[in-house]
Structure 1
Amino acid sequence: MLRMPVDRTTARARQGADILLLSASNYPALPIYPYAFVQVSAVAARHGRTAARLDLLHTPRESWRTVLRAALERTDPLLIGIHLRQLDSIFIWNYADYDLPGAPPVRRNSYWPFHDTRHLIALLRELTDRPVMVGGFGFTTRTRDLLERLRPDFGVTGEPDEILARLDDVLARRDLDRIPNLAHRSGTGYTVNPRVFLPPADHPEYTEAVLRDLLDFYGPERVTGPGAEVHVAVEIQRGCPYRCYFCTEPMVKGRRHRVRDLDVVMADITFLADRGVSRIWLVCSEINIGSNALLFEMAARMRRLNRGRAVPVHWTCYLLPNPPLARAEIRMLLESRFEPSWNQFTSYHDENLRRTRVPYRTRHAIEAQIGWLEEDEAHRRAHGLPVPPRRLDMFLGNTYATPETVATTLRTINELRLGERFEDSFITRATRVFDIGDGLLADTSAAAYSVGPEGLLDRIDLVHPTFSYPPALVEALGGARAVDEFFAHVEKTFLSRAYRARLDWRAFLSRHTDGQRLAAWCTRLRAAPGAPEPGPPPGREPGEDTAVRTAVHTVRTALAADGGTALLTGLRTGTPPDAGTDADTDTGTGALARALAELAIDTEADRVRAVFAALGLPGYWDDRVARTPYDIHAALAARFPTADEVRAAARAAAGPGDPALPLLAVEYCLYDNNVQLRPEYAPLLFPG
């Protein structure tokens, strides 16, 4: 039987609920309990109204009619409020007509909140004659368009407080023109009343009923206790004075930031903490607009809250890199259980940052990126906490990106060796285009296009997902798809260790050798005097050099035992040979294949050094630990337009005799560094 949570915190008792809140706009790839449900329920309660809440994310579409009918029968609402949180995911890979290189595992053409909301309203019209009101962040960005297409009875632009205060007038359709933020039918169209921007609530928002609803949505184990992974939203600040070109928040919430009474904020947090919630997300544009004072005050309050608490409460929020934070201040925040949040810088190029209108510059972004990375890792190790995988996010595909923007950013990242610190990377490679009242953002009209469930639309329609790839990069690379391919290469090769984590060294050996040649190399290795063990390859995780040494030990043990017969069989079948009692740990066949290749190459080290010197990589084989993929690409691109020309030069430099091992060393270098030499890539990789 459908369980419909109803808020019973009001003074006036009623069978059912005055307002039934619905949502069909939750993003399946990142489900978030609608904070609008929390806030609207609280505002309704302040005015003597009850509310029930139902998010349809977990309900199959074919079951909507049945579920809605049951909800309506149970609640018998006076008004149905629909939350339209967003019009699309803002991510291009949800809507591209091909599988984008480097895209996360999301289903294409699968997230259409406007269309789902329209279908929801159509079902409601068949099931009830109760009025339908639509609001939410997404609705506010395109109020007039959505009114005409969704055809609700009422709409809410921005906050609903004034409307709920006069709900009797709304339901009676009395004095509608005098209610701020209300949109209502007027003849064959709609009237949208003047907008007012309201401050955050001056009262607590969470109740037992709302919390039960939230726990049902996520599952209690994901929200409460020390292992919780979900952050529960609590508003601390509303509005933003900046005009970052890709953001609609100042239009939706106002350009003046207003701070909520911190005693009220802490009342909500304490209520949640006392019921086991252990992660809080403070809702704001950024908590440190113009000053870090609010951030520090919250840290002090969270320390007091957590004093003596068996399950401490962790907290996070969006945070600008400017005003900057000293290392001691970062450590203080971490000690207060602050968790660094996701921050996607547009680039490390000051002119690009200026044009995108973000309130910081390269020095701020770099200082914040490295400071938080190092201090958080040190904090975790000092407290015996695991260090989670790190991901470097950047909006390198912003509208104002140019080859110089990208090249300068990549050079900076390489100089800092920043990519070596991240397990993965995420580049936004197209801008979701909006209109905040003065035309398409960033003059993107020439490059923008809109898509619907059936494919590309014949005109720009901002109710539908509308995107613009950076024109300068499209021109430089030859098309949007080429931009995707380039950024996929950059993500896994230069901004993270993702590529090296997925190398298949068994497959590498199979491509570049055969069984007979491997057997001959094993014979040579067994007869040769002990060669020095290779150091850990570049970009390896701390402690992984032990695994490399273990692999080398295992290979030498196998060679000594039977000349490598079991080793080669194991490499062919994917089953590691018995390493013997002296081995520290079991070693996968990929590590063994790599170790065998390195040991074999070392038997002709002088020839290998000469070949790399001829390629413009002197000393590479001996110091490859210190070379990044960017270093290798830069050196080779300075001499060769393609990888095939690198191979040809290596063959010529190998001199007389069998060139197999020097050429294997070159293939090792190309494979280990994901070398892709293309003439069109050079201007985007290396500053002129």
Structure 2
Amino acid sequence: MPRMPVDDTTAPAQQGADILLLSASNYPALPIYPYAFVQVSAVAARHGLTTARLDLLHTPKASWRTTLREALNRTNPRLIGIHLRQLDSIFIWNYADHDLPGAPPVRRNSYWPFHDTQQLISLLRELTECPIMVGGFGFTTRTPDLLDRLQPDFGVTGEADEVLERLDDVLAHRKVAQIANLAHRSGNGYTLNARVFLPPPDHTEYTDAVLRDLLDFYGPQRVTGPHADVHVPVEVQRGCPYRCYFCTEPMVKGRRHRVRNLDVVMADIAFLADRGVSRVWLVCSEINVGSNKLLFEMAARMRKLNHGRKKPVSWTSYLLPNPTLERSDIRTLLESHFEPSWNQFASYHDENLKRTRVPYRARHAVQAQVDWLEEDQAFRRANGLPVPPRRLDMFLGNTYATPETVSTTLRIVNELRLGERFDDSLITRATRVFDLGDGLIGDTSASAYSVGPEGLLDEVDLVHPTFSYPTALVEALGSARAVDEFFAYVEKTFLSRAYRARLDWPAFLTRHTDEERLSQWCESLRHTPAHAGEDAVSRTIRAALTADDGTTLLKQLRASPPPEEGAGPVARALVELLIGTEPDRIRDVFAAIGLPGYWDDRTAWTAYDVCATLAARFTTVEDVLDMARAAAGPGDPALPLLAVQYCLYDNNVLLRPDYSRLLFRV
């Protein structure tokens, strides 16, 4: 049974707690200790209230009753506060009716925080008469609907500061109409009081009790160990003036951005650092709203904090590509132990970016992508730090995406050869639809649909996961599922090295050769002089062919599965050596299909180059092979065709007119 710390700031733990904070809305695929627990506990303590905290993520539902009963008995709270951080994951792959190609490995239809919170409240009603209050980011996005469906005693829209300050009045239903951000029962419904957007707190938030709770949630090694991977949140700024079409942050936090007292921010960070925390996340919409002043100020303060510290603290935050940063600025940030933060640009197409209302354009996104990638890699190598796997994330499935959006973005990616710099890629292929006060976002009223635990709902219901695919892409490809398949192809072929990393060259060798012909080619290779500069794998193959005519080597490579992990590079190198025995025919064939010089300098060609060139000349892969066969001239065309098959396989060539129109505007 999970231990449930009680914040003893104002009262001994054994006396219970004024407020029992609960959450049943954590996302299992990315568990995050609720920062609301930290902030609400701190505000409560300032008003003489004690709190206890319990996140139910690690508690099986079958044990909820027992766990809650024990928690209620230990704390005997005056109020139960339920945190509803989000209504769903916002990702389409969690709620599709089939496994989406290219999607992360998540368990579909398993994350329903609204329903879990509903179940939690129902269970609490059986166990206690203690009043229940619901709040949180997700709750604030749909407060009236959620009050109606969850039926709590109270709700909080946004910050709970005044509610906690006047908790006695709230619980006594005394003069509640004047308490900002409070929702309370009125007749058969609820009254929502005036909404007030508050600045960040001017006091520290972390206590030893809260930190112990956080360590219990993650496990100490993930937070304070030598390979800690958890960023502990500390708020630095609140609110956002921008109007990105997909974002609810301004609705929940306000459109005025306000910076927290940085002395207080650093006091919280120092508190955490002194207790072994080595990574912090500065909570804000973006740390560089309007200028980089706050970013540079925090860098200077973090350098000062880390000076002489045996275990430096790394820090990160959301960071816009505009205002831009000079490369020298990036190096300064890295030297302050800033970690480049996740960012998902909508596209590299200015008209698309304008329509999504993001505060940057393609030149900003491209510059930030390249500069941070290169400077971080150089910094890590210079300091003997490992370079982690890189993933290129893009929101190419935004509502306003068009074929031109896709083709323009991919053309720029190819010009910069960005795809070769990333190990993987992830495209968000649908918008999570909200209502920010003036109807469904992004003109999605005709395309939006909602999903419940039992499947597709009859009408749009924003309390449930609600999505919209880009209409122009659906029209171009025929269906939402076709959009998923298309983006999965783009992710692994043009935006990353993912496809090439998974190539099975022994299988390719088996699929495109037979035993007799392969033996003949190997015999020819044995009598072909080695080229200057052949690598170690090629030399190993030649030695094997000399030892026993390659019998043992070929047997191993054609086994299923190959007995050795290194069989892939060996099989690939063998294919390349075999093809190299007929250089003139190979050159003629590639010239005929529009790829002159390809075989002699394959690294000069990206997958995009190959696919775009072939798409401009051919409708199908069979057409390519027919042309290659004709160009091979007299004699057996098998080896030239093997070379073309190698090219098609290595570059994941898929010739489809509907794809070509989106990828290359062919």
TM-score for the superposition, normalised by structure 1:
0.95
Q: Select the residue among 537, 540, 553 that pairs with 2:539.
A: 553
1:573 Cα offset (Å)? 3.0
1:13 Cα offset (Å)? 7.7
Which residue type is aligned with residue 528 of structure 1?
T
1:645 Cα offset (Å)? 1.3
Give the Cα separation in 1 of the matches to 2:400 and 2:520: 56
Q: Select the residue among 568, 586, 590 that pairs with 1:608.
A: 586
Rate the CA distance shift 1:643–1:526 in 2: closer, same or farther, 3 A.
same
Which residue type is aligned with residue 32 of structure 1?
I
Match of 1:539 in 2: none
Which residue type is aligned with residue 572 of structure 1?
R
Which residue type is aligned with residue 568 of structure 1?
L
Give the Cα separation in 2 of the matches to 1:644 and 1:573: 28
Q: Select the residue among 571, 596, 603 that pairs with 1:593.
A: 571
Q: Deviations over 1:234-281 (max 9, x none)?
A: 000000000000000000000000000000000000000000000000
Match of 1:387 in 2: 387
Which residue type is aligned with residue 406 of structure 1?
V
Match of 2:511 in 1: 511
1:517 Cα offset (Å)? 1.4
CA contact (8 A) 1:531 1:599 kept: no
Match of 1:447 in 2: 447
Match of 1:186 in 2: 186
Which residue type is aligned with residue 551 of structure 2?
T
Q: Select the residue among 660, 667, 670 that pairs with 2:645.
A: 667
1:531 Cα offset (Å)? 3.7
Match of 2:375 in 1: 375
Give the Cα separation in 2 of the matches to 1:595 and 1:210: 57
Deviates more, 1:621-630 or 1:567-576: 567-576
CA contact (8 A) 1:12 1:49 kept: no
Q: Deviations over 1:104-123 (max 9, x none)?
A: 10000010000000000000
Which residue type is aligned with residue 462 of structure 1?
L
Rate the CA distance shift 1:438–1:234 in 2: closer, same or farther, 3 A.
same
1:11 Cα offset (Å)? 5.9
CA contact (8 A) 1:42 1:205 kept: yes
Rate the CA distance shift 1:155–1:292 in 2: closer, same or farther, 3 A.
same
Q: Deviations over 1:559-592 (max 9, x none)?
A: 1111101111221236989xxxxxxxx9711111
CA contact (8 A) 2:6 2:13 kept: no
CA contact (8 A) 2:11 2:50 kept: no
CA contact (8 A) 1:550 1:587 kept: no
Give the Cα separation in 2 of the matches to 1:687 and 1:329: 38
CA contact (8 A) 2:492 2:499 kept: yes
Secondary structure (helix, strand or coil) at the match of 1:223 reads: helix
Give the Cα separation in 2 of the matches to 1:368 and 1:164: 42
Match of 2:426 in 1: 426
CA contact (8 A) 1:408 1:687 kept: no
CA contact (8 A) 1:551 1:587 kept: no
Is 1:568 the counterpart of 2:554 in the alignment? yes
Give the Cα separation in 2 of the matches to 1:137 and 1:652: 64
Secondary structure (helix, strand or coil) at the match of 2:393 reads: strand
CA contact (8 A) 1:12 1:48 kept: no
> What pairs up with 1:379-528 in 2 under 5 angstroms?
379-528=379-528
Which residue type is aligned with residue 407 of structure 1?
S
Match of 1:538 in 2: none
Match of 2:295 in 1: 295
CA contact (8 A) 2:282 2:317 kept: yes
Secondary structure (helix, strand or coil) at the match of 2:224 reads: coil
Rate the CA distance shift 1:576–1:457 in 2: closer, same or farther, 3 A.
closer
Match of 1:165 in 2: 165
1:687 Cα offset (Å)? 3.9
Give the Cα separation in 2 of the matches to 1:644 and 1:18: 73
Give the Cα separation in 1 of the matches to 2:468 and 2:2: 43
CA contact (8 A) 1:10 1:46 kept: no
Match of 2:174 in 1: 174
CA contact (8 A) 1:574 1:589 kept: no
Deviates more, 1:220-229 or 1:357-366: 220-229
CA contact (8 A) 1:419 1:494 kept: yes
CA contact (8 A) 2:509 2:558 kept: no
Q: Deviations over 1:410-456 (max 9, x none)?
A: 00000011111000001000000000100000110101000000000
Which residue type is aligned with residue 369 of structure 1?
Q
Match of 1:251 in 2: 251
Secondary structure (helix, strand or coil) at the match of 1:134 reads: strand
Q: Deviations over 1:491-540 (max 9, x none)?
A: 00000000000000000011101111111111111122224556xxxxxx
Q: Deviations over 1:181-214 (max 9, x none)?
A: 0001111111111100000011000000000000
Give the Cα separation in 2 of the matches to 1:587 and 1:114: 46
Give the Cα separation in 2 of the matches to 1:227 and 1:609: 51
Is 1:125 the counterpart of 2:103 in the alignment? no
CA contact (8 A) 2:114 2:463 kept: yes
Give the Cα separation in 2 of the matches to 1:307 and 1:487: 46
> What pairs up with 1:529-544 in 2 under 5 angstroms?
529-532=529-532
1:24 Cα offset (Å)? 0.4
**Which residues of structure 2 form unaligned runs of 5+?**
none
> What pairs up with 1:25-174 in 2 under 5 angstroms?
25-174=25-174
Q: Deviations over 1:339-359 (max 9, x none)?
A: 000000000000000000000
Give the Cα separation in 1 of the matches to 2:480 and 2:533: 46
1:225 Cα offset (Å)? 3.5
CA contact (8 A) 1:225 1:311 kept: no
CA contact (8 A) 1:567 1:576 kept: no
1:484 Cα offset (Å)? 0.3
Secondary structure (helix, strand or coil) at the match of 2:184 reads: strand
1:14 Cα offset (Å)? 7.0
Secondary structure (helix, strand or coil) at the match of 1:272 reads: helix
Give the Cα separation in 2 of the matches to 1:72 and 1:623: 71
Secondary structure (helix, strand or coil) at the match of 2:15 reads: coil
**Which residues of structure 1 form unaligned runs of 5+?**
535-548, 578-585
CA contact (8 A) 1:433 1:448 kept: yes
Give the Cα separation in 2 of the matches to 1:14 and 1:293: 46
Percent of aligned positions with the same letter in both sequences? 78
Give the Cα separation in 1 of the matches to 2:459 and 2:565: 57
Give the Cα separation in 2 of the matches to 1:532 and 1:65: 73
Over the aligned positions, Cα root-mean-square deviation in angstroms equals 1.3
Rate the CA distance shift 1:533–1:664 in 2: closer, same or farther, 3 A.
farther
Is 1:641 the counterpart of 2:619 in the alignment? yes
Rate the CA distance shift 1:641–1:532 in 2: closer, same or farther, 3 A.
farther
